Amino acid sequence: MAEAERDRLGHPYLGDEHLLLGVLAHAANPAATMLHERGLDLATARTQIARIVADSGPLARDDAALLREFGVDVTQMRRQLESTFGTLAVHDAARRVRRRPWWRGRASHNPLCGPFYLIKRAQLVACTTAGARGEAEIRPEHLLYGVLRVARDPLGSGLGRRGRRDAARLGLPVGAAHPVRLLLTGQGIDLDQLGEDLLGSLAAT
C-alpha cells in the first residue's frame, strides 16, 4: 500500500510518509484508528504530505512514471525478470551497475532498481520492536511506531555517503525536518505520546 501511495503522489522515492499513508489506507487496524482518533484521516494526510513535499523544493522526475507515458511499464518488466531469474539476481545485477567505475558506464540509478528507499530505518525499528515481543508478524502498529521513531530525526539521518548523494540527486532536502514530523505536529499530534500509545496497544494484544 505504501508503494501505491507513492505512485499516487508521483514521488521518485519510497519514504516514511508513504508508509504512514499505507497504514491509513489499510484502514482496519489499530494504528489507523489511533490516527483517526487524533483527527488525521487518509484524505487529509495525502493532501498535507503532497504540500509538505512540494514546499521542500522540486523533486526529480520519477523515471518509471515518465516511461509509463510511453507505454513502458518498468514495474511489470521488473516482476517478469524476477519471476524468470529471481529477485536476488535482479537486485544484484542492478547493484553491480551502480558500483561500476564511471568510465565503465556506471549508472547511479535506473528504473529497474525500483524507487529510492528511505524506509529501511523504520522497517528495522518495526522488526526489532516485533522481535523483542516475540512476534513473528509485522503489523501496522509496528510500522507506524518505526515511522514515528525515525521522524524525530532530520530527513535522511543514517544515510551513508552514497545514499546522501542519491537523495540529493532526487531533490530531497537531506537534513531538513522530517515530512512525517511536519505532518503530525501540524495536526497537533504529539509523536512521543502516540508512540507510547502504540506500544501500549501492542502490549495489550
Q: What is the pLDDT of residues 142-189, one digit of tens each?
A: 999 999 999 999 988 888 888 888 888 888 888 999 999 999 999 999
Q: How far apart are CA 114 and CA 111, in angstroms?
A: 5
User: Residue 95 is placed in which grid cell?
Assistant: 547493484
Looking at the chain, the whole-number percentage of residues with pLDDT higher than 70 is 84
**What value does the mean pLDDT take over residues 87-95?**
75
Question: Are 130 and 152 members of one domain?
Answer: yes
Element (H, E) at 13: strand 13-14
pLDDT for res 144? 96
* Number of domains present in the structure of the chain: 2
pTM of the model: 0.79
End position of a domain, from candidates 83, 114, 145:
114
Question: Are 119 and 106 members of one domain?
Answer: no
Residue 200 DSSP symbol: H
Question: Are 93 and 38 members of one domain?
Answer: no
Q: How far apart are CA 111 and CA 42, in angstroms?
A: 28
The domain containing residue 154 runs over which residues? 2-60+115-204
Question: Are 105 and 125 members of one domain?
Answer: no
Question: Are 67 and 153 members of one domain?
Answer: no
Domain containing residue 186: CATH number: 1.10.1780.10
Contacts (Cβ under 8 Å, ≥6 apart) of 67: 73, 74, 111
Question: Are 128 and 176 members of one domain?
Answer: yes
Question: Are 186 and 136 members of one domain?
Answer: yes
pLDDT for res 52? 95
The pairing of beta strand 13-14 with beta strand 116-117: parallel
Q: What is the pLDDT of residues 6-37, one digit of tens each?
A: 988 988 889 999 999 999 998 789 999 999 99
